[in-house]
Amino acid sequence: MNHQRAARDWHVNVMFTPRTVNMVPDSTAILGRNVHLGLRIYDVPPKIIEMEILQNSVGVKYRS
C-alpha cells in the first residue's frame, strides 16, 4: 500500500516566509526553547512578543 502512494503523480507546493515578515512566530519559537513542554496560556503576551507585535504593526523589519 505504501508503494502505491509513492507511485502517485504528486504535486507539491513549497512556500518560504522570510523572518522579516514572520517576526512574531519566530520570536515565539525562540521563547519556547527555554520552557518546559506542555500547554502555556498567557493572559498578556510576553514582553518580547508584545514588542514584536507593535513593531510588526508599524512595519519595522526583523532585528538582526
What tens digit of pLDDT does each residue of 51-62 get?
Answer: 888 877 777 765
**Rg of the Cα trace of the chain?**
18
Cα angle 52, 38, 45 (rounded to 5 degrees) comes to 25
pTM comes to: 0.50
| Count: domains in the chain | 1
Does residue 56 sit within a domain? yes
Does residue 9 sit within a domain? no
Does residue 44 sit within a domain? yes
Does residue 40 sit within a domain? yes
pLDDT tens per residue across span 13-43: 998 877 777 778 888 888 888 888 888 888 9
